[in-house]
Amino acid sequence: MNKIENLLNIDVSSVDPSVEADRTLTVCNACRYCEGYCPVFKAITYRRVFDNPDLDYLANLCHQCGACYQACQYAPPHEFGIDVPKALSLLRAENYARYAWPQRAGKLFQNNPTWLSLITGLCLALLMYLSNASVSIDETTDSGNFYSIISHSVMVAFAGLTFACASIALVLGMRRYWQAITDKATPSFSLAALNKAVRAGLNLTHLSKHNQVGCPGDSEGPSPWKRYSHQLTLWGFLLCFVSTCTATAYHYLLGITAPYPYQSIPVLIGTLGGLMLLSGTSGFIYLKFNQRRAMQMGQLQLDLTLTTSLWLIALSGLLLLVLRETNAMPALLLVHLGFVFGFFITMPYSKMVHGLFRMLSLILFYAETEDAVGDPAGSE
Amino acid sequence: MTLTKSVQQKADIIVVGAGHAGLCAAITAAESGAAVLLLEVSPKAMRGGNSRHTRNLRVAHQAPTATLDGAYSEAEYLQDLLTVTSGNTNQALASIMITESEALLTWLGAHGVTFQKAISGSLNLEKTNAFFLGGGKALLNSLYHRAEALGVDIRYETEVLQLKLCDDRFKALSCDHRGQRTYIPADAVILTSGGFQANEDWMRSIWGKAADNFLIRGTPYNKGLPLKDMIRHKARLTGDAKQCHAVAIDARAPKYDGGIVSRLDCVSYGIVVNNKALRFYDEGEDYWPKRYAIWGRLVAQQPEQIAFAILDSKTVGLYMPSVYPPIVANDIKTLAGLLDIDPFALQATINHFNHSTCSGEFQAKTLDGLATQNIEPRKSNWALPLDTPPYIAFPLKPGITFTYLGLEVNSTANAIGQSGKPFPNIFAAGEIMAGNILGQGYCAGTGMTIGGVFGRIAGREAAACL
């Protein structure tokens, strides 16, 4: 009968995340004090009741900045026990598995993210090592030459295959999500809305707006450090990707083969990207263990698996650069590439998908905001 | 005073109650160099009294600001105030509040409070009221942060029991912290401890057993002990001791702290019956924002202090979503069963009401004059017959926002004795003295303006008497 009363005394973690998100946002929709904070609170005013794809969409709009929790008159120990960031975080985690393609892989990964990432990385490293034994080494065996350890064709085959698998699974998963959230009404899309969404997504506008003050050790108050860590990680990751693309262009278009000198473009970009990625993920790991709230948000293992594997990839990549002329190189190379390719193959099921879920949600949000007129706010 | 077990080191100024008014007072006094002790009765997680549930403050301004549309002159503000209080206002104090309101807005901004950009459609308040981004608790968090940074000594779970006076001068107070009684001397005291609506005995002494059925919309910590003690010290009082601001809210709301989400605004579009299934007041007398504040008292006068708003499916979507789901049935008798009232009586009331409705154009957003004929009480507007299932009901109870009784103050926020002489070092701000300005009724956002303006005055004046 009464979902508020029925859920008052239930341990939230044992409840279906959709049910808890519905209960939470129903309270929010009757309150609306947070409407100035972020798109979630604007988007709920367009709705009277929330069904499942609606809730998924709203969950993925949330950037988990925490401002609404700090401001909430119904936060625990109030008997309503409202915690919007946590309720939506739990639902997002469930979404990553539910919309994944194939769904079974998503669920499997979600249950054991850390072990699966580790095992995938190590298996790929081993496979590459074994593949190499059967492939004749047609390059020179100079020190610092990666192809003397793993032949170029094996490397390309692994890279191409893992990247292709990841891309296909990602596209199919995201298509499934997009179809679900736009099922009831497809808003009219404009370039302006798309532009706003992409800008807001890449700038993390909705993570930063109300978190301009605070320090990384602050366990309760607002802090801009999560955004700093995120931006270092994101742009560091993208720079590493650009570095790889540049190196590919060097190889195929310019005919210049690796190893590239330290002052070459791929190495410079890659080094910068690697350092950013290393510091960004270090920041995340520090915040995770030092902000009491961050530990309780329901995605701890997914988050740590992603940040730790990116951290390892960055560290092994940088070490590889520094130690490429020593005899640590072969082992480092196998580990680095194993984790890079492992990262790609698990990407459609890992926390990496949050960026795509969120971007699609932002696109829908800015589109429906141009269309809709919400209910007026109330007051006392 | 024999209860006290330990005596604490003297503070310059003690502020009693850490809501909006108390924080404004404590910060202002601390910025003047005073050593301030701020005593809050609630635990930290529930701090801030009724300010937790507020959302905006009413501000006079000459031109549009970042957070307010248009202009709102001081004269308009005063007029709006006098309209709701029927002149039950100390105009000298009201003028101070209105004149200082814009400076308060600036001051809050400078002390870390953020406001929403001017928003449209908020009960037409975008011209008059500045909205706190995130609401009252966000405002409180910013002010607490500032008070802590200034070195204000904030003590939670500390209930002030009695004030010790000597020749009308405040000397010390006794307080209780988790059963530990302490006696703290100070040079001045500022009382910002709110009303007494959460004091069950006091409420029962006014309302009798009916008080047991009241819901308290705000904090359970406003017991009014400092107010009661000032009455003992023969302070002059303001506001009707027997009145409180009561709104009809969803009867399923918690006893305390239900706040904004328990409100209902559907009454105008249906009928309201008591548990005998009888109507008792004109549901369509005026726009709901102008009438919601009388419905608490109306429901309080019904048997068992309960009533039911009954609607049909024609008007779904015209009122705000409620946090509690509507009670729905396909026929009136089943609905009555769900509400535990006599089905035949409810059917009869609705039949009678339906027969009294007239044809005409229903207009949800204006006083459409679609009234009943030959029925008592009449319904003056929006009188549509209830004939389209499913039928919808919401149970109503009186929700108490605040009590009107308070301390009379002068323009420097000093409490005043029965002789008319001010207590030289006892100040009051916020709900405990709001009755000077809001003698009856309510004008949205005025409570927070009174708290902020008189909190700052009290902080300044208390620091000046050191």
Residue pLDDT, tens place only, B126-136: 889 999 999 99
Q: Which of B116, B122, B325 sits opposite A2 (nearest CB)?
A: B325
Per-residue HEC secondary structure of chain A comes to CCHHHHHCCCCHHHCCHHHHHHHHHHHHHHHCCCCCCCHHHHHHCCCCCCCHHHHHHHHHHCCCCCHHHHHCCCCCCCCCCCCHHHHHHHHHHHHHHHCCCCHHHHHHHHHCHHHHHHHHHHHHHHHHHHHHHHCCCCCCCCCCCHHHCCCHHHHHHHHHHHHHHHHHHHHHHHHHHHHHHCCCCCCCCCHHHHHHHHHHHHHCHHHHCCCCCCCCCCCCCCCCHHHHHHHHHHHHHHHHHHHHHHHHHHHHHHCCCCCCCCCCHHHHHHHHHHHHHHHHHHHHHHHHHHCHHHHCCCCHHHHHHHHHHHHHHHHHHHHHHHCCCCCCHHHHHHHHHHHHHHHHHHHHHCHHHHHHHHHHHHHHHHHHHHHCCCCCCCCC
- Tell whether B114 is within 8 A of chain A (Cβ): yes
> Of B399, B430, B454, which residue is a domain's last?
B399
- CA–CA gap between residue B384 and residue B68 (Å, rounded): 37
CA atoms within 13 A on the CB side of B99: 8
Chain A: residue whose CA lies nearest to B338: A1
Query: In residues, how long is chain B?
Result: 466
- Tell whether B445 is within 8 A of chain A (Cβ): yes
Do B261 and A30 make contact, defined as CB atoms within 8 angstroms?
A: yes
- Answer yes or no: do B233 and B90 share one domain: yes
Which residues touch A198 (CB under 8 Å, ≥6 apart)?
A359, A362, A363
- Answer yes or no: do B200 and B262 share one domain: no
- Answer yes or no: do B387 and B428 share one domain: no
List the 78-107 stretch of B: residues with Cβ below 8 A of A. none
> How many Cβ atoms are within 10 Å of A150's Cβ, its own excluded?
22
- CA–CA gap between residue A56 and residue A61 (Å, rounded): 9
Cα radius of gyration rounded to whole Å, chain B = 24
Q: Which of A4, A70, A78 sits opposite B257 (nearest CB)?
A: A78
Q: Which of B123, B325, B401 sits opposite A378 (nearest CB)?
A: B123
Range of the domain at B152: 6-241+404-464
Task: Write down the pLDDT at residue A376.
Answer: 42
- Tell whether A377 is within 8 A of chain B (Cβ): yes
- Tell whether B324 is within 8 A of chain A (Cβ): yes
Which residues touch A220 (CB under 8 Å, ≥6 apart)?
A70, A292, A293
Q: Which of A30, A33, A75 sits opposite B322 (nearest CB)?
A: A30
- Answer yes or no: do B271 and B349 share one domain: yes
- Tell whether A9 is within 8 A of chain B (Cβ): no
Task: Write down the pLDDT at residue A320.
Answer: 93
Catalogue all structural domains in chain A, each as residue range(s) with its CATH number.
3-97 (no CATH), 101-188+199-360 (1.20.950)
pLDDT more than 90, % of chain A = 63
Per-residue HEC secondary structure of B281-309 comes to CCCCCCCHHHHHHHHHHHHHCCHHHCEEE
Q: Provide the token pair at A133.
A: 């034994």
Best residue in B114, B247, B261 for a mutation probing chain A (most A CBs within 10 Å): B261
Best residue in A5, A218, A379 for a mutation probing chain B (most B CBs within 10 Å): A379
How many domains does chain B fold into?
A: 2
- Answer yes or no: do B73 and B178 share one domain: yes
Per CB-CB distance under 8 Å, the chain A contacts of B263 are 30, 378
Residue pLDDT, tens place only, A308-325: 999 999 999 999 999 988
Residue pLDDT, tens place only, A124-161: 999 988 887 654 444 444 567 888 888 888 899 999 99
Alpha-carbon distances, residue B358 vs B290, B314, B375, B382 (angstroms): 25, 16, 12, 10
**What is the arithmetic mean of pLDDT over A99-110?**
94
- Answer yes or no: do B147 and B261 share one domain: no
- Answer yes or no: do B215 and B284 share one domain: no
Alpha-carbon distances, residue B158 vs B16, B26, B51 (angstroms): 9, 16, 18
Do A73 and B145 make contact, defined as CB atoms within 8 angstroms?
A: no
- Answer yes or no: do B350 and B456 share one domain: no
- Among residues B150, B117, B128, which one has the least CA distance to residue B23? B150
- Answer yes or no: do B159 and B17 share one domain: yes
More confident residue, A204 or B227: B227
Q: Does B133 reside within a domain?
A: yes
DSSP state of B331: S
- Answer yes or no: do B93 and B112 share one domain: yes
- Answer yes or no: do B187 and B258 share one domain: no
Q: What is the mean pLDDT of each run of 10 residues along chain B (466 residues)?
A: 66 97 98 98 97 96 89 96 92 98 97 82 76 95 96 98 96 96 96 97 95 96 97 95 91 96 93 97 92 91 97 91 89 97 97 96 94 96 96 96 96 97 98 95 93 98 95
CA angle in degrees (0–180, nearest 5) for B134-B135-B139: 90
Q: Does B1 reside within a domain?
A: no
> Of B358, B382, B399, which residue is a domain's last?
B399
- CA–CA gap between residue B389 and residue A151 (Å, rounded): 76
Task: Write down the pLDDT at residue A291.
Answer: 76
DSSP state of B87: T
Q: Provide the token pair at B403.
A: 């009590």
Q: Does B47 reside within a domain?
A: yes
Mean pLDDT score across all residues of chain A:
86
